Amino acid sequence: MRQRNGELAEAEGEASGGTAPGVGTSGHATPAEPLRALRACKGAVAALCVGTALIHMVLVFLYVAPSNPISERFEQPMNVWVRPFFQQGWGLFAPNPGGVNTQIFARTGWVTASGERQVSDWFDISATDRAGVTHQPYPSRTAQRMLRSAWSQYRKTHDGDDEPRSDQAAVWAKCLRNIAVQRVTPLSPHPFQAIRLWVVTQPVRPSSADKRVEPDPKDRGTRLLPWWNVTPDGN
């Protein structure tokens, strides 16, 4: 009987190839190991997503919460995370329409081959914004706000003599300058090395009295900015 049982066990071993469960005849792992690795990878990704969401919620909560020792301690990481992408704006709930119409004009300057300095006519670079929203049921926010926001921030960070009064002044001056270069480049008849802006403002009037504003130095609502040296890419 013992001899017969031994023969049966030997036959079963030969039939199965003599391999352990989970291991192929060549000694390589079966698909069970890749599946375990995939599950572990999914778990790590899920944990990362949950952790990022929790950090985001905490930083946004501290950003909008009243000032406290914790928010003051983590002010720098909060600003780095929230301000570029998650800035809190309440204009939707408490709109503050502008009280003036603002038109921004630009002219360019360049030096000819003979060394003579030339300047262009004034270009209405606000016209791009107006064209982007006129007769558009869902106008782009960029078309509505990019130039206007850059001018608004420039005005806040510079005094009446265009002297900076904030650490962010240089950033907004460069932003306004680059937008102007971008708008003027397709309109300028020549490559240019300098650009100058003229800002014209007037109180909002009823639509029946609305007229196009031309740059007039005698207009009380005008402001002439200094010349800025630029390259074709705006820098």
Query: 134 and 50, same structural domain?
Result: no
> Which of 58, 85, 112 delimits the end of a domain?
85
User: Please, which pLDDT band fits residue 199 given cuts at 50, 70 and 90?
Assistant: very high
Q: What is the pLDDT of residues 98-151, one digit of tens each?
A: 667 788 999 999 988 888 898 989 999 888 777 766 776 776 666 667 888 889
What token pair was written down for 197? 């802006």
DSSP per residue, 103-162: EEEEEEEEE-TTS-EEE---EETTHHHHHHHTT-SS--HHHHHHHHHHHHHHHHHB-TTS
Q: Give domain status of residue 196, yes or no.
A: yes
Query: 68 and 118, same structural domain?
Result: no
Give the number of domains in the chain: 2
User: Please, which pLDDT band fits residue 217 given cuts at 50, 70 and 90?
Assistant: very low
Q: Is the pLDDT of residue 50 over 90?
A: yes
Average pLDDT, the chain: 76
Query: 221 and 112, same structural domain?
Result: yes
Query: 108 and 58, same structural domain?
Result: no
Q: Kindly give, in sequence order, each residue whose CB lies less than 8 Å from that of residue 151, ignoring residues fewer than 6 positions away.
A: 102, 104, 176, 199
Query: 172 and 106, same structural domain?
Result: yes
Q: What is the pLDDT of residues 82-113, one digit of tens each?
A: 876 776 666 556 555 666 778 899 999 998 88
At residue 73, the pLDDT reads: 86
Query: 140 and 115, same structural domain?
Result: yes
Q: How far apart are CA 6 and CA 121, in angstroms?
A: 106
Q: What is the extent of the structural domain holding 201?
A: 100-229
Query: 221 and 146, same structural domain?
Result: yes
Q: How far apart are CA 161 and CA 13, in angstroms?
A: 95
Lowest pLDDT segment from 17-31, 88-102, 128-142, 197-211: 17-31
Query: 106 and 79, same structural domain?
Result: no
Query: 147 and 180, same structural domain?
Result: yes
Q: Please list the residues that pair with 94 across neighbouring strands.
A: none
Q: Give domain status of residue 18, yes or no.
A: no
Q: Give domain status of residue 65, yes or no.
A: yes
Q: Give domain status of residue 21, yes or no.
A: no
Dihedral sign for Cα 213, 162, 107, 142, please: negative
Averaged pLDDT for residues 172-181: 91
219 vs 29: which has the higher pLDDT: 29
Q: Give domain status of residue 5, yes or no.
A: no
Query: 166 and 63, same structural domain?
Result: no
| Pure H helices in the chain | 2-15, 32-64, 69-73, 75-85, 127-133, 141-157, 169-184
Q: Give domain status of residue 22, yes or no.
A: no
Q: Give domain status of residue 94, yes or no.
A: no
Query: 212 and 110, same structural domain?
Result: yes
Query: 125 and 220, same structural domain?
Result: yes
Q: Please list the residues that pair with 231 across neighbouring strands.
A: none
The alpha-carbon radius of gyration of the chain (Å, integer) is 34
Q: Give domain status of residue 216, yes or no.
A: yes
Q: How far apart are CA 141 and CA 136, in angstroms?
A: 12
At residue 148, the pLDDT reads: 85
